[in-house]
Structure 1
Amino acid sequence: MATIFRDWTEGHSKGWGVEPLKISHNLHEHPLFSKEGLGELIQSYPIEHYSLIRTSSVGETKKVWRRGEVGDLTGHEVIEKIAAGGLWLQLRELKSVDRRYDDLLQEIYAEARERVPGFDSFGHEMGILISSPHAKAHYHADLPGQALWQIAGSKRVYLYPAEEPYLPQPELEKIALTGLEVGLRYEPEFDRQALVFDLKPGEMLTWELNAPHRVENHGELSISMTTEHWTDEIRRSQMLTVANGILRQHFGIVPKRRALHGPAFWAKASLQAGWRRSPWFKRERRKMLPVDFRLGRGANNPIVDIPAYVVR
């Protein structure tokens, strides 16, 4: 039987979801991830499901983070612009845009379920990241279980402990409340505790829940895929984090308990469920990065400023 993972070991089964793991895969050979296939995908991708980011590169001290649109460029032209530098394209919610990627996503998690005893996940999502040589993703943390799959090019991933001071609890709560994963405070001395992984095509990396990380591309166009999932434990952790954020930010109460079971947990679960139905939730989620540029055709004007607007 054909498999997606390669060279799987018993250590991978034991460490899945609780420690950083680098595992081989064959998705870099899949036709869905060829440049031809990706060019066709980009050309018809709805703007509400993609983020085109102008970002700083390795060596730049000033943090740049602007959102744009692809304009009237073809998918292949968009890839060429990204290869020229300074850009990052994230294609989100692939499974709802193209059914073929959803079929592949289900194959991935079906195989993981077979290989990892007790791994029962849901809420699977998939995204594609196409980024420029030397582009970097700033220090951030994700809420669901995560994996990063390298398809083309190479990159360096820095993983940090999911604990103070690398992940202050108030900052994780803010991410849970707003849905904005960037904004964590990063200090260069954090690197002393970082685990560093170089990913090349045919390798994927997964790590413990909420572990902060940052990414630096090497000197070529990078194409990666991200997958995310939820389990009952991850879902409970998210509910608790949201409730603690509500208590801290809206009521000035410093939460102390992080139990995932018992009466205290269910009280917080009810609190966060009510908040999601409140005007507070809508106000927090309105804080979205506006689109303020589009890609230009000329080599001398790759970025064209436009009046800012927000994509809902």
Structure 2
Amino acid sequence: MVDWPQAARAEFGKSIIEARHSIHNSPLFCDGSLAALLDLYPRDQLGIWTFADHGEGEEAPVKGEAPDMSGEELLEAVKNGRIWLNLRATNSHVADYAPIADQVFNSIQHMSGQRVLKRDMGVLISSPNVHVHYHLDIPMVALFQVRGEKTVWFYPPTERFAPAAHVEAIALREKEEGLPYSASFDLMAQEFPLRPGMGVTWPQTAPHRVQNGNMLNVSLSCEFMTLPALIKANATYANGRLRRDFGARPSRAHSVSAGTVSKALLARAFKRVGKPQNSAAVTPATFAVDLAAPNCTRALI
């Protein structure tokens, strides 16, 4: 069961909205089930990352691999290391988790009064004390805490905190989701602690960072689109192409208007012509998960 506040519809997409849920009571998230999930999930699709300590500037996460480890071994490495696993679209890859995703996304659809599209429920399994750097997501996101505790800091989706050119680069897939961070930003941040049974959703492209507590964390990262969110995402893509290909200085896509709808249609035309020449390559793996190594990570030669 997922419960949203009665007044949430008016604030959806504009403010941070808290939910309550009972997903953490499911046996699908005990150690044995998580190990089995890691065995069932396509290993070549598994996102394995580690992060440097929290600091100013822009720090990219470091990608890893674990092709020959069992799910039980990989879970043990997460418990004892500094590792962040992202099982994107678990609802599509492992059938047992699809009903939970349906429950989550249907609750968002009912709460918002908007059709929920592109439903991607990822399971995040991460080490004690991991800090996920300052970043943003192009889709809308709802985060549900299942095990452990973490704190999320949310920042306004404005030029100061998320420069338009950076957001466009993420939409164009020229770069990963990270953004330059300054400690001064925290004066405008909303700090949100998450414990099992709690969930939260926030405005599209609002920057945020995450700090795990001193324990294993399991969360559901539920990415989705509504029609307004899809229009704004495509308008951002079009802005990026206009800036790069024609030297334009387009206005940011804050809301749905005649202008953003026109740009969303323009994005479709850009995509038919082809991707931009400078699209980012796939990030290579630079470490392997190794139970015997410090922080359970070993550099690849």
Which residue of structure 2 lines up, in the alignment, with residue 135 of structure 1?
130
Q: How does 1:59-208 map to 2 (within 5 A)?
A: 63=59, 65-116=61-112, 118-178=113-173, 180-208=175-203
**Following the alignment from structure 1 to structure 2, what is the Cα–Cα distance between the partners of residues 107 and 301?**
36
CA contact (8 A) 1:149 1:204 kept: yes
**Following the alignment from structure 1 to structure 2, what is the Cα–Cα distance between the partners of residues 62 and 280?**
25
**Aligned letter for 1:167?**
A
Q: Name the CA shift for 1:85/1:63 in 2 (closer, same or farther; >3 Å).
A: farther
SS at match of 2:214: coil
| Deviation larger for 101-110 or 25-34 | 101-110
Which residue of structure 2 lines up, in the alignment, with residue 289 of structure 1?
283
SS at match of 2:172: helix
Using structure 1 for the length normalisation, give the TM-score: 0.87
Using structure 2 for the length normalisation, give the TM-score: 0.90
**Aligned letter for 1:68?**
G
After the TM superposition, list the runs of 4 or more consecutive aligned residues in structure 1 that deviate by more than 6 angstroms. 59-62
Q: Name the CA shift for 1:180/1:28 in 2 (closer, same or farther; >3 Å).
A: farther
Q: Name the CA shift for 1:61/1:113 in 2 (closer, same or farther; >3 Å).
A: closer
Number of residue pairs aligned between Structure 1 and Structure 2:
300
For structure 2, the 5+ residue unaligned runs are none
**Following the alignment from structure 1 to structure 2, what is the Cα–Cα distance between the partners of residues 104 and 231?**
19
Which residue of structure 1 lines up, in the alignment, with residue 214 of structure 2?
219
For structure 1, the 5+ residue unaligned runs are 308-312
**Following the alignment from structure 1 to structure 2, what is the Cα–Cα distance between the partners of residues 95 and 60?**
35
Q: CA RMSD of the aligned region, Å? A: 2.4
CA contact (8 A) 1:49 1:93 kept: no
Q: Name the CA shift for 1:179/1:122 in 2 (closer, same or farther; >3 Å).
A: farther
CA contact (8 A) 1:240 1:260 kept: no
Task: Give the Å deviation of 1:300.
Answer: 5.2
**Following the alignment from structure 2 to structure 1, what is the Cα–Cα distance between the partners of residues 183 and 295?**
34
CA contact (8 A) 1:57 1:86 kept: no
| Deviation larger for 44-53 or 123-132 | 44-53
Q: Name the CA shift for 1:59/1:187 in 2 (closer, same or farther; >3 Å).
A: closer
Task: Give the Å deviation of 1:18.
Answer: 2.0
CA contact (8 A) 1:141 1:181 kept: no
The answer as to 2:19 corresponding to 1:28 is no
CA contact (8 A) 1:85 1:135 kept: no
CA contact (8 A) 1:142 1:181 kept: no
Which residue of structure 2 lines up, in the alignment, with residue 268 of structure 1?
263
Q: 2:37 aligns with which of 1, 23, 41?
A: 41
Q: 2:232 aligns with which of 228, 237, 258?
A: 237
Q: Among the aligned pairs, what percent are the same residue? A: 31
